[in-house]
Each structure stands twice: as C-alpha cells, then as structure tokens.
Amino acid sequence: MSIASPIAALYERGNIVKVCGLREPEHAVAAAEAGADILGFIFAPARRQVTAEVAQACIMAARQAKPDVLACGVFVNAAAMEIAVVVRGAGLDMVQLSGSEPPEFMSALPVAATRAIHPKPGVSVDEIVLEIGKHQRAGAPPAAFLLDAFSPKGAGGTGEKVDWGLAAAVNARVPVMLAGGLSPNNVAEAIQIVRPVGVDVSSGVEIDGRKSGEQIHAFVAAAQAAFARQPVTATR
C-alpha cells in the first residue's frame, strides 16, 4: 500500500473537510463528531503551535468519536528528520508542507504529504499551475495541493482570503483544496464558486482566538451541505 493511500483515497473521493490549528482535545472531538475528514495540527512557530504530545492526545480523543479521521501535521521549512520524529511521536497520518520546501523534499518524508501553495499578489494562473507542475513531476509528488492565501503574517491561519476567481481558474486545471479566510458564513459560496476537492478552516472557527465547538460544527455542516449540492472529485 502506498504511503499516500489515506489522503489519496480522500482526494479521489473529494468533498474533503479539514479543521486545522487544533490545540485542545475537546475541539478535536468536536471536529470528528461533526464529520471532519482531517484534523490539522501546527508544528511550526505560530500562535497555534502544539507539541507532539498534545497532538497525540487530541488525535486519540477524536478517534473515539470517528476512528477513521486522519491527522495532519503542518510544517514550515522543517528538516525531514524533525518531521519524522514528530510524525512518530504524534501518530500523524500525513503532513502538510507550507514553506518553501523544494519538490524533491517529498521523497524524504515517512508519510504522505500535501503541498500548500500561497500565491503572491499579481501571480497568474499559469504561474501557479507551473509551480504545481514542478511538484507533480517530483519523484514523490504530493498527494494533494492546498491553495491558501499569501500573507506576510505567516503561512496559513491568518484569516486572509484567497481570490476565489483565481482559485476557480487554477482548480479548473489542477484540482486543489481551498483554504484562506473560510468560515461557516462563506464556505458554501466558496465551494459553489471554486468547486474545490476540499476546504480547510482554522481562524474561521475561532472566537476570541480560541476554537469554538459550535463554530466547528457549523462549518462542517455548511461545507458538507454545499458539497452534497455539487459533489466534486479530483478526477471530476
């Protein structure tokens, strides 16, 4: 079985919902109970950063509610050995690379990886697709791609929104997941416009900087309802 099989299977199915930036077991459980497919944990220096031990506790609690929920660790320019240690310690199924890691870096990872793309202002659809293509041609290509907002504040979780028109144009050529500024109030519209294979939320389900179980449930429900109206798969 390929190490990419868990996320690859989800990617082929489409309609993926990921809740990222989790730090407390109760919110991981809320995400699992709501029906999220992937739980995201930040291991890069940031406000939502957690240790492997905290992530493991969250994952174990969440799998009491949904045994097949996947756990993803988010890294920014970390060494492959560092990632491997965290993967083992936390029990991660996959990782997300959100830095400037080169395409060949994927082959050094012990689990499947998704590649986050943060388009800078003025970047064209062709340039984004070209960047994705470089990763697709690598020896161990990413299992999926995530289109997130560019922000000088950091790589993800900033609340900044991707240009949905740009995202839709990219997604028409290369299936992607969508992140950046999503919330229970706008995720249905984002899915309708972009038609991504999945959506990823972090700050959009927080109140005063802390995850909200109610907001998590609302987001997952809104996303699932929108996907049900127009199901999308990576193979279209």
Active site residues: 20, 148
**Residue 20 near residue 200, CB atoms below 8 Å:** yes
Cα–Cα distances (Å) from 106 to 3, 7, 11, 26, 94, in that order, read: 12, 15, 18, 32, 12
Helix 125-136 vs helix 164-171: angle between axes, to the nearest 10 degrees? Answer: 50
**DSSP letters spanning 150-213:** --TT-SS-S-PPP-HHHHHHHHTTS--EE-SS--TTTHHHHHHHH--SEEEESGGGEETTEE-H
- Distance, CA of 131 to CA of 135 (rounded, Å): 7
Chain centroid to CA 121 = 21
Q: 132 in helix, strand or coil?
A: helix
Cβ contacts of 84 within 8 Å, gap of 6 or more: 109, 110
